[in-house]
Amino acid sequence: MSLPDFKEKQILFVYCRKESDNKIKINNENIALLNDGDIVNQLSAHKVFAVFVVGETSLTTTLIRKCREMAVSLFLLKNNFEAYGKVIAEAEGNYLLRQKQYSLSENKELDFSRAIVENKLKNQLFLLKQAGHVSSDKEKEKLNVLEKKVRNIKYSKRATRFRRQLDQGIFFFIFL
């Protein structure tokens, strides 16, 4: 795991009370804590580095499998914090690709961002035209203005100008 990945991850501590029926499971790629069948709290599994479970609880096999797949280590602790079980996850993946991704200059990042946003906006414009949602003259005029903005995205030299153009494009699609 690279340092930028590690900085973004969180360690999750779950304290399970004896009085209630506790269960930890995966719910739409979120680690969810259930007390007496109700979801009390949940956190995206993509943001978690390790889960420390203190106390008595039930774990689902899906949780264990997903933790291993998403490189999340799982530690089971007694109430006195003595460890009695663990599932250690190994971070796999193309570390060379991640290293290259994190070593990009701000200009290269901006170039990639521009290309992605430009393609998304062009696709949305194409879909709007194909679906026939642009019928009135006012809407066609707005569409032409947006097409100009999309063409100008590639000429944005600074990130602030690019963000402003992106915000205007998003605003257009919301109120079309």
**Residue 99: pLDDT above 80?**
no
Average confidence (pLDDT) over 50-63 = 88
Q: Which residue has the tokens 């032409």?
A: 144
Which pLDDT score is estimated for 174? 43
Query: CA 132 to CA 25: how far, in whole Å?
Result: 44
Average confidence (pLDDT) over 89-105 = 67
Average confidence (pLDDT) over 71-98 = 79
Question: At 111, is the secondary structure helix, strand, or coil?
Answer: helix
Query: CA 54 to CA 47: how far, in whole Å?
Result: 20
Give this prediction's pTM.
Answer: 0.50
Tell me if 74 sits within 8 A of 58, measured CB to CB.
Answer: no
